[in-house]
């Protein structure tokens, strides 16, 4: 077992390293992996000083014998098959099945009696209901078979940054959990229903993690934006076309802000409603969930109303990075499309930091204290 005062972790499906940034300098990354060349290049650009631990390639090609022993394994496996926007193929889906590559490694490390005592699996909320809950049951069953107790929380990034981005974090452990169980505002209805659907033998291994709620967020979407003079705006005719796609209620919301004067910033998505393409705007100070730039409907647009003038433009990669909680020092790919791909596929940094501070670190440090007492 690791006796280093800084706990170590393995980061699978690492992307641009956002889980690593969220865990923070109090942790040591012992190994990281991602298949995507753009994300791998971004990871190396930001953590190049110790890039030797990073291995680009298919998770199925990794060998447990080459993985270092660590305190935690983090897996943000591809989520398309769980997403409400996807085909919902579940754990058997082509992309989300990458989870099985990760789990094969965990089982092999367990057989060697050196599996990480804490595992975090992060995914979209659709994981809880995919195939009527069967996929979540299967995940919990796999954890149970390897001696882990487990629980889940649903954390929306909007608790920390002005972006609506709900995600499920399944936290499994073999360690004592005294003082870490209890009520939590992150026990969403979807979490409670998923736990209730578990077979009785798996319910016996369920943990209600007592993750506290963070202080109220004090930033909004407008605070994340670049100066108006530093960005490219859509031509007026494109903005008019966007407004024309809005249903009456959304157009009325725009008109109300025009009449009120001042400055308002809204986030716009294009969606299919009843077989028609619609533009939907929100003025609640939040961006919609960032997505990867695959197809026009996934590109988030900003609508800015300033003293009666209405303009629109696309969200920039740097603004997207800020909405993920990344510092401006974070190096993004030169290509806008690649930059949006990296941030759109990531995990919100402050959500990881909160989970680490309130749950993961107490878990790991309690293990270290137990070892020191032996």
CB–CB of 79/124 below 8 Å?
Answer: yes
- Measured CA to CA, the distance from residue 198 to residue 206 in angstroms comes to 9
C-alpha R_g of the chain: 22
Query: What is the arrangement of strands in the sheet containing 301-306, beginning at the earlier edge strand?
Result: 276-282, 263-273, 301-306, 309-314
- Helices in the chain by DSSP H: which ranges? 18-23, 37-46, 98-111, 134-145, 189-197, 200-203, 236-244, 248-260, 317-323, 336-344, 349-355, 361-373
Phi (first) and psi of residue 7, to 5 degrees: -65, 155
CA 177 to chain centre: 24
Closest CA to 292 of 348, 346, 347, 340: 340
29 is annotated as an active-site residue: no
Phi-psi region of 94 (alpha: psi -120 to 50; beta: other; left: phi over 0): alpha
> SS3 for 59?
helix
DSSP states along 209-277: B-PPPPPPP---GGGGPPPGGGSPPPPHHHHHHHHHTB-HHHHHHHHHHHHH-SEEEEEEEEEEETTEE
Phi (first) and psi of residue 267, to 5 degrees: -105, 135
For residues 349, 26, 46, 340, the Cα torsion angle rounded to the nearest 10 degrees is -10
CB–CB of 163/289 below 8 Å?
Answer: yes
H/E stretch holding 118 reads strand 118-124
- Measured CA to CA, the distance from residue 316 to residue 123 in angstroms comes to 24
Catalytic residue numbers read 79
């Amino acid at each position: 077992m690791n006796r280093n005062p800084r706990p170590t972790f393995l980061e699978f499906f690492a992307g641009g390293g956002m889980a690593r940034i969220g865990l923070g300098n109090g942790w040591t990354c012992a190994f990281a992996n991602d298949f995507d060349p753009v994300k791998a290049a971004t990871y190396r650009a930001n953590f190049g000083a110790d890039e030797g631990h990073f291995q680009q390639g298919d998770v199925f090609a990794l060998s447990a014998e080459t993985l270092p022993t660590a305190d935690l394994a983090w897996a943000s496996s591809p989520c398309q098959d769980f997403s409400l926007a996807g085909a919902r193929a579940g754990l058997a889906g082509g992309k989300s099945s990458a989870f099985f590559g990760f789990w094969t490694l965990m089982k092999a490390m367990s057989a060697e009696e050196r599996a990480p005592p804490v595992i975090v699996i992060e995914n979209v909320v659709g994981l809880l209901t995919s195939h009527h809950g069967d996929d979540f049951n299967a995940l919990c069953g796999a954890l149970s078979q390897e001696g882990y107790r487990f629980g889940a929380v649903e954390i929306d990034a909007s608790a920390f940054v002005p972006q609506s981005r709900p995600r499920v974090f399944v936290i499994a452990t073999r360690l004592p959990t005294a003082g870490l169980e209890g009520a939590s505002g992150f026990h969403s209805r979807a979490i409670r229903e998923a736990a209730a659907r578990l077979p009785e033998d798996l319910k016996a291994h369920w943990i209600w993690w007592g993750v506290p709620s963070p202080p109220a967020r004090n930033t909004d979407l407008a605070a994340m934006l670049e100066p108006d003079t530093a960005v490219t705006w859509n031509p007026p005719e494109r903005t008019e076309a966007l407004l024309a796609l809005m249903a009456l209620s959304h157009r009325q919301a725009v008109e109300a802000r025009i009449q009120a004067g001042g400055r308002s910033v809204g986030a716009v998505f294009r969606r299919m409603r009843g077989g028609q393409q619609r533009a939907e705007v929100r003025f609640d100070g939040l961006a919609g969930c960032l997505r990867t730039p695959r197809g026009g409907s996934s590109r988030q647009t900003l609508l800015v109303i300033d003293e009666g003038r209405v303009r629109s433009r696309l969200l920039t990669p740097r603004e997207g990075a800020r909405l993920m909680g990344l510092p401006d020092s974070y190096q993004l790919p030169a290509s806008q499309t690649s930059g949006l791909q990296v941030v759109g596929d990531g995990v919100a940094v402050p959500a990881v930091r909160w989970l680490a501070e309130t749950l993961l670190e107490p878990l790991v440090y309690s293990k270290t204290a137990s070892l020191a007492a032996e």
